[in-house]
Amino acid sequence: MRVTSRGWTAISLLLALAVLSALFDERTLLFAVVVFGGWLLSQQILAVRGFSQTFDTLEHQLYLSHPRQRVDSDVDVTIQLSRANDETTTVTATLSTPVAGRATSTESRTVELQRKETADSTSCALRYPVAGVFTLPDISVTLTDGAQMFTETYDLSTATAVTIEPPEPHDVYVGQGGRQLASAYGEHDADKSGSGLLPYELREYVDSDSANRIDWKATARLGSPHVTEYELEAEQRTILVVDARASTKRGQPGETPLDYIREVGLGLVDSAEKTADPVSLYLLEEGQYTLTEQAAKTSAEFRRIRYQLNQLSTQSELAQKSQGQRTRVSLKRSQLRTQFSEDDSTLGQTLSPYLKTGFRTAYTNTDVLGEVVERIILEHRDAGSVQVQLLTTDLNQPTLLDSAARLSENGHQMVTFLTPAVLFDTNTQRPIAGEDSYREYVEFEEFRRTLARLDRVKALELGPRNRVKTLLAQRDP
């Protein structure tokens, strides 16, 4: 408890009266000191009782308009306070400014309960300039007694968290040859071939078959129309390979290949979680790759994958970490994993899924994609087929072809999402609608089709739809 300026004035007056009564030996002044001192003591007792009651009965709630928001977008927060009826204490509660963000004015973040008021609320907005998961800041509470001579301040911790996602690319296009896919790729479908389906019979086409069931690759290989029959796999094992190398970070924030790769990657993870398919995640960086999650099945593990994807930075300098930093992070993770391994508290149960699996990083002097593909083939040699979903650029075409061929010949499926370099050209002197750009786009489409001709391989284009439409508008009618 602290004394306010008004309280110090009263105490100063009491001391002055005491000094005067001693100097002049005046009983009247002494009587005034006793009465005034008693009144001051009674105010302190009332303040203590009022503060104690308010402390015991004060409740707070924080409500988010949406638990997920984009970088530098308003996070609307409603602060609600309630307490038992109190005729002596004023409550002032202010949501603190987040350490990693910004907030609106102090007035908009403050709720005040005057004497006899039992509930009130206010709304404000916070902004975070970086992606991540943030717990909302503490609420600073100040209690003031009715005479405004004593005050008490303490913090109310909050358990409300908000997920801040990186800038979202606009008008995401996923398709083939200018035709956008109508639905998210990766869903199970019992009526046609696709993800989660295993081929078990190849037979000739008959009149009762629908034309869209024809396996055109098998038809071209065998010389007559054939149909592949499929059976639904109990679960589709998916390996997500995300390219986060420097080639994916060119362009303005929110408009780089990595931004589009991240957005589609998050969609693939959502689709896999809905169908209960286990997902592993590989991140490709310069000269190294990291297995950040293996066969994720639980909600906590899927959240961890989303967190890793959201943390991917489009700023090259942020992506460069020293070996010493990685060692310290790994050591800290190991220590925390040991500390919370048998902790049944709420904190332990919250943190343990994030500490369960340490990252496994491998360094290589060769192409990291080729290394990851060989590792996948080796680890699943006797475990049946998997589907590899690769999100990358089209800049290293020989490695892409070789990786797809290696997976195909070992019985695995591959879905490649390619961001054409021409759609992300940072050369402002060359317009996207120019002849050179269109020629590069045609060369990309030829490569995509070459990749798609391989057995068990699908090759899809990924990028900004408006730029694709601009390039396709140059085709001869």
pTM of the complete model: 0.61
Lowest mean pLDDT segment, chosen from 170-174, 234-238, 384-388, 406-410: 234-238
Euclidean distance between the first and final Cα of the chain, in Å? Answer: 82
- Same domain? 374 vs 464: yes
Token duo for residue 104? 């609106």
pLDDT of 25: 76
- Residue-level pLDDT at 153: 93
User: Which sign, positive or negative, has the C-alpha torsion 125, 126, 128, 131?
Assistant: negative
Please indicate, yes or no, whether residues 277 and 311 belong to a single structural domain of this protein: yes
Examine the domain organization and report whether 306 and 290 are in the same domain. Answer: yes
Please report the pLDDT score of residue 373 as a whole number. Answer: 93
Q: What is the mean pLDDT of the chain?
A: 80
Give yes or no: residues 242 and 265 share one domain: yes
pLDDT class of 345 with cuts at 50, 70, 90: low
pLDDT band at 99 (very low <50, low <70, confident <90, very high): confident
User: Using an 8 Å Cβ cutoff, are 181 and 30 in contact?
Assistant: no
Predicted confidence (pLDDT) at residue 354 exceeds the cutoff of 80 = no
Domain stops at, among 165, 180, 213: 165
> Is there a domain that residue 204 lies in?
no
Is residue 32 predicted with pLDDT exceeding 80?
yes
- Give the whole-angstrom CA distance, residue 143 versus residue 61: 18
User: What is the pLDDT at residue 208?
Assistant: 73
pLDDT at 243: 94
Of the candidates 261, 268, 263, the residue with the CA atom closest to the CA atom of residue 239: 268
CA distance 471 to 433: 6
Region 46-69: mean pLDDT is 88
Choose the weakest-confidence range: 96-100, 189-193, 209-213, 373-377: 189-193
Tell whether the model's pLDDT for residue 213 goes beyond 50. yes
Query: Looking at residue 14, which CATH number applies to its domain?
Result: 2.60.40.10
Query: Which has more confidence, 385 or 187?
Result: 385
Do 160 and 192 fall into the same domain?
Answer: no
Q: How confident is residue 224, by pLDDT bands cut at 50, 70 and 90?
A: confident
- Indicate whether 279 and 426 sit together in one domain: yes
Residues in the chain: 477
Give the residue-averaged pLDDT of 437-461: 90
Q: How do residues 356-400 score in pLDDT, each as one tens digit?
A: 544 566 655 568 899 999 999 998 888 778 999 999 999 889 999
Q: Is 218 among the domain residues?
A: no
Considering the domain architecture, whether residues 102 and 238 belong to the same structural domain is answered as: no
Whether 137 contacts 146, CB under 8 Å? no
Bigger pLDDT: 423 vs 389: 389
In a domain, 286, yes or no: yes
Backbone angles phi, psi at 80, to 5 degrees: -125, 130
Which band of pLDDT confidence, cut at 50, 70 and 90, is reported for residue 430? low
The predicted pLDDT at position 338 comes to: 53
Range of the domain at 323: 172-196+233-472
Where a domain ends, among 145, 165, 185?
Answer: 165
- For residues 122 and 253, state if they share a domain: no
In a domain, 4, yes or no: yes
**Ramachandran assignment for 16, one of left (phi > 0), alpha (psi -120 to 50 degrees), beta (any other):** alpha
Average pLDDT score over residue span 17-28 = 82
In a domain, 208, yes or no: no
Place of tokens 């290989």: 221
- Return the percentage of the chain with pLDDT > 70, whole number: 79
CATH number of the domain where residue 432 is located: 3.40.50.410
Q: Which of 117-121, 166-170, 269-273 has the lowest mean pLDDT?
A: 166-170
**Residue 23 in this model has a pLDDT that exceeds 90:** no
Number of domains in the chain: 2
Of all residues in the chain, the percent with pLDDT exceeding 90 is 26
- 308, 267 in Cβ contact below 8 A? no
Domain assignment present for residue 100? The answer is yes
In a shared domain, residues 148 and 249: no
pLDDT of residue 184: 47
SS3 content of the chain, % helix, strand, coil (to 5): 40, 30, 35
Question: Does the residue 142 lie in any domain?
Answer: yes
Tokens of 210: 């629908």
244 and 100 belong to one structural domain = no
Model confidence pLDDT, tens digit, residues 148-183: 889 999 998 888 888 887 777 768 888 887 777 754
**Is there a single domain that holds both residue 106 and residue 183?**
no
Residue 315 binned pLDDT confidence (cut-offs 50, 70, 90): very low
Within this chain, do residues 159 and 181 fall inside the same structural domain, yes or no?
no
Looking at per-residue confidence, does 312 or 313 come out higher? 312
Smallest CA-to-CA distance from 354 within 323, 380, 328, 329 is with 329
The residue among 86 and 379 whose pLDDT is bigger is 379
Q: What is the pLDDT of residues 280-307, one digit of tens each?
A: 999 998 888 888 878 888 888 888 888 8
Residues 52, 345: Cα–Cα separation, whole Å = 29
In a domain, 221, yes or no: no
Separation between Cα atoms, residue 305 and residue 283, nearest integer Å: 11
| pLDDT at residue 325 greater than cutoff 50 | no
